[in-house]
């Protein structure tokens, strides 16, 4: 389990992470979401002991990263896929990492196979595509067979097949009981691969919960289509619901599907469609982080 | 199963050191400059020996002259040392490295072991090679020296140590500055610009101060006979070791304190 406890990190006057606290449970994939500049990478760097927290702390299974005798066997991380010496071969890069933590050479060949880059293992990393570099970064993260895995924007540069592969990999790792913590600014991706989601903006925790919980909290509406939309609209508005009328039917918010159904029955209006419109995770995300977008585009109303 | 230790991190750093082409290139340049330029200088002196003035002939040192290529090879070892750390910053691999080895002091120690051992072996071999080749070129025309003579073996071996220490100095500057260009230009300035700055000092200070220049310490280390204008080899080695150790200590402290 990964615990971030009242973490604050300043760079000069800029507060990257501000009193952030959350837990990441094992056995599931936890998405770490936020707009660019929200503090996701900084948080991950503090977890790995690369940056020193200004205040607060981070612990992995109750211990600090610096206390692990062989950190790669406890925590695997993909931070920056291009962060490999371009002149070194993929295999030598992994061999060097393995040697420091006393991980066997056979394990190096195993992760090369597992990530599908065994055929280019002896090629210089400088010639790798971003997708291949991502796979090498993932191989490095898996090297020590760690219980906790961190991935910073892992789908960047992957082709659709690669994205599917990585989604399956996360699910498998979580099923094996590992803690899988994946950052992304793409809500749609997380909706497909994460069980739990931590949303941050401007270094603050905005929301935390399962994908279902997050979308349920968001203001959902109900789409209704009936034989007599006009009568239903009048009656709904009398009850305080807001109704948007379109050619296809009514978009009702402020009343649940069953309330609308009961009302239609009492009015004797036949309903042909009654569909709760669940807010997409994308919409929830936009709503949640609307105030926290640091570099948002300036809107011009015309 | 144990984890991080000096031997395990040394093995890791050795894999990194030998698996990039720039290391081999740098070592080949070191060999080429020390032996090749040494031979070139020796050949030129042999050819002009008859025209040389008597005082120059009197103060001629066949040992330090045959090691003249080190004056250029020092830049090659300096670059090897610098690149060993700055390439980690330029590629971004420093974060992967520090995540694998969070004990940063241990990382520096391991890199030093790899750097010092490799450079020492190569530099000692090329210095002995340059010396022997030089003497064989001098033979018959120019006075020669033998490793069996007092002070000669010491001067040759200290030549190798000088190249090694400058490699470590380049590494230490890389630790502090983190950028290849900044580290290498600082390194070059210490060796080439500082002596020129010295010329601006009053004459009476010049001789006292210039003895402390790293390049002058190198000359002192590679002299087989005592020289009035230089420190004794023992003092020179000590001073150079102090320079390099202080710079390394500053670099290590910064690495430990700074965010990666």
Q: Judge: B11–A51 Cβ closer than 8 Å, yes or no.
A: no
Convert the pLDDT of each residue in A97-124 to its tens digit. 999 999 999 999 999 999 999 999 999 9
CATH of region A2-216: 3.40.50.300
Full DSSP string of B178-218: -SHHHHHHHHHIIIIIHHHHHTTS-HHHHHHHHTTSHHHHH
Chain A residues within an 8 Å CB radius of B83: none
Q: Please report whether residue B11 resides in a domain.
A: yes
Convert the pLDDT of each residue in A35-83 to its tens digit. 888 899 999 999 999 999 999 999 999 999 999 999 999 999 999 888 8
Q: Judge: B100–A49 Cβ closer than 8 Å, yes or no.
A: no
Residue A285 has pLDDT above 90, yes or no: no
Going from the first residue of chain B to its last (260 residues), give the mean pLDDT of each consecutive group of 10, the final group possibly shorter: 90 96 95 96 94 90 95 96 96 95 97 98 97 95 91 96 98 97 96 89 86 94 88 96 98 95
Chain B residues within an 8 Å CB radius of A48: 95, 98-99, 102
Q: Judge: A85–B16 Cβ closer than 8 Å, yes or no.
A: yes
pTM metric for this prediction: 0.87
Q: Judge: A70–B101 Cβ closer than 8 Å, yes or no.
A: no
In this prediction the ipTM stands at 0.91
Task: Kindly give the pairing relationship between strand A204-210 and strand A196-201.
Answer: antiparallel
Work out the pLDDT band at A302, boundaries 50, 70, 90. Answer: very low
pLDDT at B59: 86
Q: Please report whether residue B1 resides in a domain.
A: no
- Residues of the domain holding B50: 6-257
Instruction: Domain ranges for chain A, please list them.
Output: 2-216, 221-277
Q: Please report whether residue B250 resides in a domain.
A: yes
Chain A contact probe: residue of B14, B93, B104, B108 with most A CBs at under 10 A: B93
Which residues touch B133 (CB under 8 Å, ≥6 apart)?
B35, B38, B39, B42, B66
Counted domains in chain B = 1
Q: Please report whether residue B199 resides in a domain.
A: yes
Q: Angle at which helices A160-175 and A130-142 pack, to 10 degrees? A: 10
Q: Is A240 on the interface with B (CB under 8 A)?
A: no
Q: How far is A172 from chain B (nearest CA, A)?
A: 24
């Amino acid at each position: 389990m990964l615990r971030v406890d009242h973490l604050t990190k300043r760079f000069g006057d800029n507060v990257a992470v501000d009193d952030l606290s959350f837990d990441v449970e094992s056995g599931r994939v936890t998405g770490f979401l936020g707009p660019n500049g929200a503090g996701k990478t900084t948080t991950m760097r503090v977890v790995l002991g690369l940056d020193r927290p200004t205040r607060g702390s981070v612990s992995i299974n109750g211990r600090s990263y610096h206390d692990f005798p062989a950190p790669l066997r406890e925590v695997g991380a993909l931070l920056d896929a291009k962060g490999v010496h371009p002149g070194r071969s993929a295999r030598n890069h992994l061999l060097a990492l393995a040697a420091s933590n006393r991980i066997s050479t056979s394990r190096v060949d195993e992760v090369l196979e597992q990530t599908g880059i065994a055929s280019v293992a002896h090629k210089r990393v400088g010639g790798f595509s971003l997708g291949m570099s991502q796979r090498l970064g993932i191989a490095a993260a898996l090297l020590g067979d760690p219980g906790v895995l961190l991935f910073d924007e892992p789908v960047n540069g992957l082709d659709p097949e690669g994205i599917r592969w990585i989604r399956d990999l996360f699910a498998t790792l979580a099923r094996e009981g590992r803690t899988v913590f994946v950052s992304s600014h793409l809500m749609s991706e997380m909706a497909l691969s994460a069980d739990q989601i931590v949303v941050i903006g401007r270094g603050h925790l905005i929301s935390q919960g399962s994908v279902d919980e997050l979308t349920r909290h968001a203001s959902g509406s109900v789409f209704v289509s009936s034989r007599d939309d006009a009568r239903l609209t009048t009656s709904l508005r009398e009850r305080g619901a807001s109704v948007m009328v379109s050619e296809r039917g009514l978009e009702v918010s402020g009343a649940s599907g069953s309330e609308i159904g009961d009302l239609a029955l009492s009015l004797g209006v036949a309903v042909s469609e009654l569909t709760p419109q669940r807010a997409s995770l994308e919409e929830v995300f936009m709503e949640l982080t609307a105030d926290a977008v640091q570099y948002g585009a300036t809107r011009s109303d015309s | 199963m144990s984890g991080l230790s000096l031997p395990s991190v040394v093995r890791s750093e050795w894999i990194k050191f030998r698996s990039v082409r720039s290391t081999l290139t740098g070592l080949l340049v070191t060999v080429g400059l020390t032996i090749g330029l040494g031979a070139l200088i020796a050949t030129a002196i042999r050819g002009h020996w008859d025209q040389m003035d008597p005082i120059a002939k009197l103060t001629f040192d066949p040992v330090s002259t045959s090691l003249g290529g080190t004056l250029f090879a020092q830049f090659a070892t300096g670059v090897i040392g610098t690149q060993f750390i700055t390439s980690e910053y330029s590629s971004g691999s420093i974060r992967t490295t520090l995540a694998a080895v969070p004990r940063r002091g241990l990382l520096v120690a391991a890199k030093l072991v790899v750097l010092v051992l490799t450079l020492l072996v190569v530099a000692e071999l090329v210095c002995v090679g340059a010396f022997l080749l030089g003497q064989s070129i001098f033979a018959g025309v120019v006075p020669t020296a033998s490793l069996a003579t007092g002070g000669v073996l010491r001067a040759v071996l200290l030549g190798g140590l000088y190249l090694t220490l400058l490699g470590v100095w380049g590494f230490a500057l890389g630790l502090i500055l983190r950028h290849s260009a900044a580290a290498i230009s600082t390194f070059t300035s210490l060796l080439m610009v500082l002596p020129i700055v010295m010329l601006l000092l009053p004459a009476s200070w010049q001789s006292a101060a210039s003895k402390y220049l790293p390049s002058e310490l190198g000359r002192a280390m590679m002299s087989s006979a005592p020289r009035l204008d230089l420190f004794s080899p023992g003092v020179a080695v000590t001073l150079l070791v102090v320079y390099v150790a202080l710079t390394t200590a500053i670099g290590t402290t910064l690495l430990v304190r700074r965010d990666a």
